[in-house]
Amino acid sequence: MAGFVGSFNVFVLATCCCISHDCFSVLANSFPAVVDALKTLQEKIRRLELERKQAEKSFQQFSHDVQKHNALDQDLIRILDSKLQSAEARCKVLEKQLDYMRKMVENAKKERNTLMENQVVEQEKLEKLESECHKLSRTQALAEMKLAILEQKLLKEEHERKLVQDKADELQREFENNLQLTMPPTEEIKPKKGKKMSMVGSLKTNSPRHTKMPFVAGTSISPSHSVHANVQSILHMMKHHQPQLCERMSALHRPGAKKNLQKEFPPFSSASKKSDSLPEQVDQSLSSLSDLLLALQDELGQMSFEHQELVHQIDAATDRHKKEDLQQELERLVARMEEKGVQITKLRKHQQTVSESSCSKKLSGTKPPVPSLLKAKQKGKKTMTAHSNLQLLQETKKFRNSLKQDDLSWET
């Protein structure tokens, strides 16, 4: 700007020189107007200079403001960039959390469905268990009723056994009294084999007292000596103990029962003449022992069946107290089964002993006589043999009575 002013001054001076040389006379007349024009021009230059300075200041201020504004904008941009990056990171984290929550919701739905299915299954199982519990309760009630009935039957059979024992003792006493009171003074001569049948027939027709059984004959003061009445009472009391006698009971009411009874129990005098009557008694004793052994085996089989049922109940039981009760009952049943086995073993040994003794007597050829009312007084040896046989029968009865009602079982 200063160069511009200098050049302008030079131009003015040159112009003035030109004017002074060429138009000095013209300018001399208009000098005041030129001075005024120069002043005006100088004033304009001064104003332009001021405007230039103000423009420079304004430009510098504007450039400074622009630089300051750019710096602020950069800081703001950096802040905004950092905020944007943090927002993007948070968005990513939120997206991950959202995915995780979606997975959790899906897993929760699956677990809920699984729980619902399990609940349905458990409900079905509970219903089945309730039905089984009702069935078991009904079965238990039936079993208790059956046990009560069996207890009543056992008490009744125990009472009947006592009655049978009393009746057997009474009959035994009557038999011993008959042996002592009905002994004749004379000795009977043994008839030959050819006259045996005729002698039996004559004794049946001539002596009606021989048609009665030996253990009810004589002058006993017991209430009754009727064969039919005694047999009926014995069969009534022993119907659960001697099945063979129950079959004979029906034969007593058929026509010709008296003849059949006389055939089974022949007159005492004729029986004393038969040398093979004792082996028949031994066979009857063996048959009774066999029946008793079968009854014991039957009871043992029933107990083994109860053992299996108890084992199944213990396996199926869920209650601890109930299982303990069943185990105690099983132990008691096992103890009873062991006792049954011991009793069956003893009975078999006794049966084997009786069988061996009968076989030895048959092989030796000796036939011990039956206790005879006509020979008992004069033949002491035969009487002793009869008493020994009677003692054998008594021991058999005692052994039979020593057995309990629950000792009867099947052999498995």
Contact 275, 369 (CB under 8 A): yes
Q: How far apart are CA 20 and CA 316, in angstroms?
A: 150
pLDDT band per the 50, 70, 90 thresholds, residue 178: confident
Task: Note the Cα 367 to chain centre separation in Å.
Answer: 62
The whole-model pTM stands at 0.26
Average pLDDT, the chain: 70
Amino acid 275: pLDDT:
44
The residue-averaged pLDDT of 336-358 equals 82
Whole-number percent of the chain with pLDDT over 70: 55
pLDDT over 90 (residue 94): yes
Which of 185-194, 265-274, 330-339 has the highest average model confidence (pLDDT)?
330-339
Dist. CA 310–CA 302, nearest whole Å: 12
Query: Which of 109 and 317 is assigned the larger pLDDT?
Result: 109
User: Each residue of 14-36: pLDDT tens digit?
Assistant: 555 554 455 556 556 677 888 88
| Residue 196 or 112, more confident | 112
238 in Cβ contact with 164 (< 8 Å)? yes
The interaxial angle of helices 277-316 and 243-252, nearest 10 deg, is 120
In angstroms, rounded to a whole number, what is the distance separating the alpha carbons of residues 102 and 80? 32
pLDDT on residue 117: 94
339: pLDDT strictly greater than 70: yes
CA 393 to chain centre: 49
SS3 annotation, the chain = CHHHHHHHHHHHHHHHHHHHHHCHHHHHHCHHHHHHHHHHHHHHHHHHHHHHHHHHHHHHHHHHHHHHHHHHHHHHHHHHHHHHHHHHHHHHHHHHHHHHHHHHHHHHHHHHHHHHHHHHHHHHHHHHHHHHHHHHHHHHHHHHHHHHHHHHHHHHHHHHHHHHHHHHHHHHHHHHHHHHHCCCCCCCCCCCCCCHHHHHHHHHHHCHHHHCCHHHCCCCCCCCCCHHHHHHHHHHHCCCCCHHHHHHHHHHCCCCHHHHHHHHCCCHHHHHHCCCHHHHHHHHHHHHHHHHHHHHHHHHHHHHHHHHHHHHHHHHCCCHHHHHHHHHHHHHHHHHHHHHHHHHHHHHHHHHHHHHHHHHHHHHCCCCCCCCCCCCCCCHHHHHHHHHHHHHHHHHHHHHHHCCHHHCECCC
Distance CA 251, CA 157 (A): 24
Confidence band of 290 (pLDDT split at 50, 70, 90) = confident
Average pLDDT over residues 176-181: 78
Which of 310-319, 378-387, 388-397 has the weakest average pLDDT? 378-387
**222 pLDDT band (50/70/90 cuts)?**
very low
Residue 387 pLDDT: 61
- What the chain holds in terms of domains, given with CATH numbers, is 158-173+223-254 (no CATH), 278-412 (1.20.58.90)
Amino acid at site 60: Q
Between helix 243-252 and helix 227-237 the angle, nearest 10°, is: 140
Interval 234-251 mean pLDDT: 48
Highest mean pLDDT among 34-43, 91-100, 178-187: 91-100
Task: Supply the pLDDT for residue 100.
Answer: 93
Poorest-pLDDT segment among 239-253, 297-311, 338-352, 398-412: 239-253
Question: Of 2-11, 179-188, 238-247, 324-333, which range is least confident?
Answer: 238-247
pLDDT of residue 285 exceeding 70: no
- Residue 249, pLDDT > 50, answer no
- So what's the pLDDT on residue 89? 92
